[in-house]
Amino acid sequence: MDNQEKNKHRFSGPLRTFAVVGILLSAAALMALGAGSTLKKAEAAMPVQQVKKDSVTSVKAFQQVYRVLMSPRCMNCHPAGDVPLQGEDSHLHAMLPKRGLDGKGVTAMKCMNCHQPTNTPGKNTPPGDPNWHLPPANMKMVFQGRSAYELAKQLLDPKQNGNKDLKKLIAHADDGLVKAGWNPGEGRALPPLTHAEFKKAWITWLNTGAYAPKDK
């Protein structure tokens, strides 16, 4: 047997072992990555858990939420009719724009014609946001004229709230257009709570049972 044959037999065993071990380790690593990815997907799909049902805490929290939702910064974009409201007294929009099917206006009277991606400089000029609009015609989500009980029930109804479950409702507190209420432009009053206070009350209301205050 020549030297080449000797070397072949000398190292074939150890090399084969190393190769098998390497394959097994690679497979284990891939399985671990797959498991991690699956776990992340499962965690993302997990529903938000209620902390503890507590009707007193829940109702108190919604009363704070209601103060914000009934302020001009929120209610002006949630009118009972198809014309948005404006001003601190929530009067009909001076230009009488209409909601339209998608909530973004009709024909040449589109919301974004005046409401730009950012606030227009100057006092009482049009506020802005990249997604400025009213709720769509098939889900108007009216705040104007709603009692605390009526509005709480409406907010929880997927047929009226944009098909939102508990998890999506909680996430909605950080929606860009919602947060725009705290950046209304010069000359406009802010909501009665800070956004952080509103978000805390909103999540507390939902996580403690989402109870609706009884109408007096």
pLDDT digits (tens, 9 = 90+) for 186-196: 999 999 999 99
Tell me whether residue 161 is in a domain: yes
Tell me whether residue 123 is in a domain: no
Q: Structure pTM?
A: 0.77
Tell me whether residue 100 is in a domain: no
The verdict on 160 and 203 lying in the same domain is yes
Helix (H), strand (E), coil (C) string for 42-53? HHHHCCCCCCCC
> What pLDDT, on a 0 to 100 scale, did the predictor assign at position 49?
57
Tell me whether residue 120 is in a domain: no
Tell me whether residue 68 is in a domain: yes
The verdict on 86 and 163 lying in the same domain is yes
| 104 within 8 A of 111, measured Cβ to Cβ | yes
Tell me whether residue 185 is in a domain: yes
The verdict on 65 and 37 lying in the same domain is no
> What pLDDT, on a 0 to 100 scale, did the predictor assign at position 215?
82
Domain span including residue 201 = 55-93+141-207
Tell me whether residue 215 is in a domain: no
Question: What's the domain count of the chain?
Answer: 2
The verdict on 88 and 32 lying in the same domain is no
Grade residue 2 by pLDDT with cuts at 50, 70 and 90: low
Each residue's pLDDT tens digit, 45-104: 444 556 689 999 999 999 999 999 999 999 999 999 999 999 999 999 999 999 999 999
The verdict on 87 and 153 lying in the same domain is yes
Tell me whether residue 26 is in a domain: yes
Average the pLDDT over 132-147 and give the result: 97
The verdict on 1 and 86 lying in the same domain is no
Burial group, residue 134, by CB count within 10 angstroms (0-12, 13-18, 19+): buried
Each residue's pLDDT tens digit, 12-37: 454 444 343 344 444 444 444 454 44
Encoded amino acid at 104, one letter = K
Provide the b/e sequence for 38-52 (b: ≥16 CB within 10 Å).
eeeeeeeeeeeeeee
